[in-house]
Amino acid sequence: MRLSGRLAVVTLVAALAACARPARIDRVVLLGFDGAAPNLVEPLVAEGRLPALRRLMTSGAYGPLKSYEPNKSGILWTSIATGKTMLKHGIVDWTYVNQQGITVPYEDRGRRVKTYWEILSERGVATGTLNWWISYPPAPLPNGYVVSNAFKRSEQADSVHPPGLFALLNPLRVPFPAGVADEMKRQGIPDYREEDATVPMNAARQILKSYPYYLSQDVTIDRASDYLFANRPVQVFSTYFRLPDVTSHFATHFLDKQLYDETVAKEAAGTLKAEDVARLDRDFARVVAPAYAFMDRTVAKYLDRLDGKTLLIVCSDHGFRYFHGRYNHANPDMSPPDGVLFMAGPGIRRGVRVEGAGLYDIAPTILFGIGQPAAEDMDGAPLLRAFDPGYLEANPMRHVASYEGGERRKSDASGSHREIDEKVLQDLKTLGYIAGDDDKPKAP
């Protein structure tokens, strides 16, 4: 009796101490999934097909994330990283015409303002960032590493910073094409074949042909992320995947034929209702479910790695919505479809829906979460409504006017990036983002 009584007292004291200690965030992990959409996540969660995302929803805050025009992922992910509009950050399209009159992709050096990991790294916070759009050539950060988005498709040591990481990460690559069939099986990704298409294919044919290559890239990044998360611990860790986006770009062609035809007919007659679109969304979710399951398994791994002091953010840059016969996000005639935002960790409210968040709020929220002032020249603000009142009382928000004083550190790598430029341009043509010779078959 006495022993169990003492045990109860000890347990009670420990519990009280835990309550009295204000929650603190020591680490932020951001997982980015291009094109993940609330209208597809929600039906899949309801069907029990995304258990990790369901856990995130019930243990944290969830809501739609407002996206912006022009709805191009390179611009949008730069806004997520900087908290700023494209007019401020300077990445205004996929490509530009350089002084020699050649169309080249934007690169890291074209960005005019700092990302949250650059701001934090300068302030002594260790950061690690993988696969972010337009992060090549990687900036030479004082406290941290960058695996640029060129790493996944180019065996160049200068695709990562510091370059010494390259020899460690390069062997983790999924060999292409040798290893891809096995990897698709392991990931439960079906063999989407043009002959099985229910809706005739056009531009999406190129994406379908390159799909195994895109999958191998994401698995490579997943492996590199696992390795660095375990072996190079940092306070702010960010990694990016694109499978939901790429899959959604061709999934219209695998919708239920009858349902698709009815929807198109109703849209033409002007009688399309919200419930018709919701029904088509559920069928679209069925087609893209394997890519969302990939996302869910990745989230599950990081959920299991959390230590009670980590703020986990999962977000996308835009969603996908049915419009004029297909699921899209970049049609200039439609408003940009919302992305998703999940937050969980110490101080985050449990099971709440957060409304009105936008891409520009992510960087200020990360700064606030890791205990640094938000910047007044950012176009978003920390998402305080996702935090418990007690947390906000113990951790009041601070501000600085700007972090942009002084030049940002940029790679001074000279020489040609022609090989990487060509691969990026090829990729953008495949996705139909820039004009290309679409009829010619090409190797990825």
Least distance between Zn ion and beta carbon 330 (Å) = 8
Least distance between Zn ion and beta carbon 428 (Å) = 12
Least distance between Zn ion and beta carbon 67 (Å) = 9
Which residues would be at the binding site for Zn ion (CB under 5 A)?
34-35, 73, 245, 317
Query: Judged by CB, which is closer to Zn ion: 235, or 298?
Result: 298
**Distance, CA of 374 to CA of 81 (rounded, Å):** 13
**Distance, CA of 155 to CA of 146 (rounded, Å):** 15
**Distance, CA of 221 to CA of 149 (rounded, Å):** 9
CA-derived radius of gyration, the chain: 22
Query: Judged by CB, which is closer to Zn ion: 248, or 263?
Result: 248
Query: Judged by CB, which is closer to Zn ion: 319, or 364?
Result: 319
Query: Judged by CB, which is closer to Zn ion: 35, or 63?
Result: 35
Least distance between Zn ion and beta carbon 249 (Å) = 10
Query: Judged by CB, which is closer to Zn ion: 129, or 310?
Result: 129
Does 177 sit behind a cis peptide bond, omega within 30 degrees of 0 on the bond before it? yes
Query: Judged by CB, which is closer to Zn ion: 79, or 216?
Result: 79
Does 212 sit behind a cis peptide bond, omega within 30 degrees of 0 on the bond before it? no
Q: Please name the residues in contact with 224: beta carbons below 8 A apart, sequence gap of 6 or more.
A: 130, 147, 151, 169, 172
**Distance, CA of 220 to CA of 175 (rounded, Å):** 9
Least distance between Zn ion and beta carbon 329 (Å) = 7
**Distance, CA of 148 to CA of 137 (rounded, Å):** 7
**What's the one-letter identity of residue 52?**
A
Report whether 90 contacts 114 (CB < 8 A): no
Report whether 201 contacts 194 (CB < 8 A): yes
**Distance, CA of 219 to CA of 205 (rounded, Å):** 22
Least distance between Zn ion and beta carbon 314 (Å) = 15
Query: Judged by CB, which is closer to Zn ion: 141, or 425?
Result: 425
Least distance between Zn ion and beta carbon 95 (Å) = 16
Structure tokens at 17: 């101490």
Query: Judged by CB, which is closer to Zn ion: 35, or 336?
Result: 35
Least distance between Zn ion and beta carbon 332 (Å) = 15
Least distance between Zn ion and beta carbon 318 (Å) = 5
Query: Judged by CB, which is closer to Zn ion: 198, or 331?
Result: 331
**Distance, CA of 339 to CA of 77 (rounded, Å):** 12
Least distance between Zn ion and beta carbon 104 (Å) = 21
Query: Judged by CB, which is closer to Zn ion: 125, or 359?
Result: 359
DSSP letter string, 297-331: HHHHHHHHH--SSEEEEEE-S---EEETTEEES--
Q: What is the H or E stretch that residue 341 is in?
A: strand 339-344
- Per the document, the length of the chain is 444
**Nearest Cα to Cα of residue 243 among 28, 40, 27, 62:** 40
Q: Closest residue (Cβ) to Zn ion?
A: 73
Q: Please name the residues in contact with 428: beta carbons below 8 A apart, sequence gap of 6 or more.
A: 94, 95, 105, 434, 436
Report whether 157 contacts 129 (CB < 8 A): no
**Distance, CA of 348 to CA of 233 (rounded, Å):** 23
